[in-house]
Amino acid sequence: MSNNNFDGDLEKFIKSLFASKNKKDKNVVDIKDAKVIKEKNKKPFDGRKFAKSAIVLTALFAVIVIILANIYIVKENEYRVVRQFGEVVKYENEPGINFKVPFIQSVTTLPKNLMTYDMTEEEINTLDKKRIIIDNYAVWRVTDPKALISNAGNLVNAESRMEEYIYSVIRTELGQLNYDDIINDENSSRGSINDKVTERVNELLTDGNFGIEVVDVRIRRTDLPEENEQSVYTRMISERESIAQKYLSEGDAEKNRIEAQTDRKVQELIATAKKEAALIRAEGESEAAKIYNREFSKDPEFYSLYRTLESYKKTIDDDTMIILPSDSPYAKILSGYLE
């Protein structure tokens, strides 16, 4: 069974085909007409209004850029110096946000904290005509940025002027001292030299109004020129050996003096002891004699016997031959006859 609406009728099919084509053409015509009407109703482009908006936005953007470009921030460890046509008009040292006049003012940054400046080595002459090389450094800071910019121009010029003053003062101070006084650690006057140099340099910087202050100047190292080192070392060794020999001689002299004093004290002590011993011995013998006399007086016969026996100690030894008569006291005693 056929599924179309024409049921084999060719005429109906052709009519319907052309009717569909005419409908499509009509729709296309309607769309074209709508576009034409819309284009007729559209307003013409206004170029002046667009240019005005662009100018306003550009001006606003330029104002923002100018404002941001002329804002400067002051930090805690720095100065911000404002200059107008090259002249310093003010400087800021308190932290915060500030604004400068556009186009005619500029801002320069200077450090506020302490700075260390290592100076180049210089050769100077001492009072005893010795040449030495001095190496030192300085600790300094900016105290008046306006004076620094006005009289020195920048930090490099300020450091150069400071270095010139420092070496001038050091040359003057060390030129009044002998070489040995400078290098001798036991009698060094560097501490006072450093203080004098610092004080004098600050006076010169103040007179010149450079807006900086030297906090401390320190001599880090003193060296000899290479051509003078060996001769000076040889002389120093000779001097040290002479000083050592002097100390040794003084030590030997002190030793001999102490030994002599000790020997004299020993002899005095021995003599005093002997004297005291003799006195004590004499007193003892005197007391013993008194005791002997008192006891022997009680029995004269015993005393006679005691004296006889004591004489035997001195007259008889192992090699003694005694020939005695039978009635002598010795013979009687030796034979045991006591009556």
The confidence score (pLDDT) of residue 308 equals 76
pLDDT above 60 (res 149): yes
DSSP letter string over 101-167?
-TTTEEEEEEE-S-EEEEPPPEEEE-TTS-EEEEEEEEEEEES-HHHHHHHT-SHHHHHHHHHHHHH
Location of structure tokens 């021995």: 270
pTM value surpassing 0.95: no
The confidence score (pLDDT) of residue 4 equals 47
Nearest-5° angle of CA 195, CA 198, CA 202?
A: 145
What angle in degrees, to the nearest 10, is found between the helix axes of 155-174 and 190-208?
140
State how far the Cα of 210 lies from the Cα of 157, in Å rounded to an integer: 10
3-state secondary structure of 47: helix
Backbone angle region of 301, left / alpha / beta, with phi > 0 → left and psi within -120 to 50 → alpha:
alpha
For strands 115-118 and 131-142, give the pairing: antiparallel
DSSP letter string over 171-203?
HHHHTTS-HHHHH-STT--HHHHHHHHHHHHHH
The confidence score (pLDDT) of residue 37 equals 53
What angle in degrees, to the nearest 10, is found between the helix axes of 226-296 and 300-315?
140
- Whole-number percent of the chain with pLDDT over 90: 23
Query: Which two tokens mark 213?
Result: 């202050």
- Whole-number percent of the chain with pLDDT over 70: 78
pLDDT above 60 (res 179): yes
The confidence score (pLDDT) of residue 336 equals 67
Location of structure tokens 């401390």: 216
pLDDT digits (tens, 9 = 90+) for 40-74: 555 555 567 677 777 878 888 887 887 777 777 88
Domains of the chain, CATH where assigned: 48-108 (no CATH), 115-230 (3.30.479.30), 274-339 (no CATH)
